[in-house]
Amino acid sequence: MHGWIPVEALWWLALYAGCGLLVPWLLRWTQLGRSGFDTRPRKLFERGELGLFGLFLAISGVLDLHRSALPGAFIVANSVVLAVTGLMAGYAWLEDFSRYEQGLSSQDERTWVDSRRLLFLVFTVTFTTQVLLAHSAEALQR
Amino acid sequence: MSEATPANRFSPAKLRLSDSAVLAGAVSLIYAASLVAFPDAFPQLLARIFQGGYFFRTLALLLVAANEFLFVLICKRRGQKLSLFTLGYIGFLTVTLVFVFRALVLFADEQAQISYLSLHMSGHAGIGAEELLLYTHLGIVSGIFFPYVLVRLTQGYVSGTHSEEPNVNARAASAGQ
């Protein structure tokens, strides 16, 4: 067995987690942290924004897949899986937004839990897909 | 007045879209970790199981067990009534998804055999260990996540249909007046 670290996949993970989650939270923290406002990450993302971020992440994963040299049937099937998980994540935000527009009471706790879990799913599936892409490229080179 | 509504009778345990997301995500992460830790042995293990002829049976068994266990856990945590019908429905959907996955893998296997016979592109006939690795991840994630999405959509459709009925009756009554 030889040592193998999927550097590209780790770079991808750091880029999306940093730009999508960490930087917005840090910006909010630097702007409002001293004013006594609640700057917990939950406050920033509790209306389902994490789900929306999950949708963008899934689209990015699908685009990466289509640029790869993997079998066509796999690209189509994996794109469908990623798209469905991304849409379900985006739906968490859409549902809360629709309730807000209709003047109904917000279900912050439920939206927060749903969007967080669905983002976790999109994140892990896209990350594993990146690891598989890196592994396939490595296997082709051998 | 004390009778249960039809919607409650049909869906004693309400599922949410995100219920299976954590399990599917965790399994996907374990899959990636296994590949990073054992880049040669892990694909070879999958290929050996596939060539042994019990790959899909094992996968179906594991996925059905995981999904049923998750459903029981959800019902216990929320204090909902365990529905045997929903348990059976989840099992049926999981096995159906494994059949779809089997068709996809066999299609890829045939494609690999055809390219081998006609063009001599690869060193072996049939699907390789690397390709099987790709498809297996897809099968596991969709086998855990999609049955719950389908059950949720079915429950939404059933409760939507039943909540429409009183409105239709009210409209018919007001039209009759």
pLDDT digits over B97-106, tens only?
Answer: 999 999 999 8
Instruction: State the smallest CA–CA distance between residue A85 and chain B in angstroms.
Output: 9
pLDDT of residue B43: 92
Share of chain B above pLDDT 90, in %: 42
Residues of B in contact with A128 (CB under 8 A): 28-29, 31-32, 137
Spatial distance between the Cα atoms of B46 and B131, rounded to a whole number of angstroms: 10
pLDDT for A12 beyond 60:
yes
B32 contacts A127? CB cut-off 8 A:
yes
Binning pLDDT at 50, 70 and 90, where does residue A41 land?
confident
| Range with lowest mean pLDDT among B17-26, B32-41, B62-71, B117-126 | B117-126
Q: Give the pLDDT confidence of A21-31 residue by residue, as tens digits.
A: 888 888 888 88
Q: Residue B135: which of A13, A89, A115, A75 has the closest Cα? A: A75
pLDDT of residue A83: 94
Q: Does A88 touch chain B (CB under 8 A)?
A: yes
pTM of the model: 0.83
CB contact at 8 A, A127 and A12: yes
B111 contacts A71? CB cut-off 8 A:
yes
Spatial distance between the Cα atoms of B49 and B56, rounded to a whole number of angstroms: 9
Answer with the residue of higher pLDDT: B133 or A36.
Answer: B133
B138 contacts A139? CB cut-off 8 A:
no
Q: Give the pLDDT confidence of A78-115 residue by residue, as tens digits.
A: 999 999 999 999 998 898 888 888 888 777 788 888 99
Q: Average pLDDT, whole number, for chain A? A: 85
CA A119 remoteness from chain centre:
5
Binning pLDDT at 50, 70 and 90, where does residue B125 land?
low
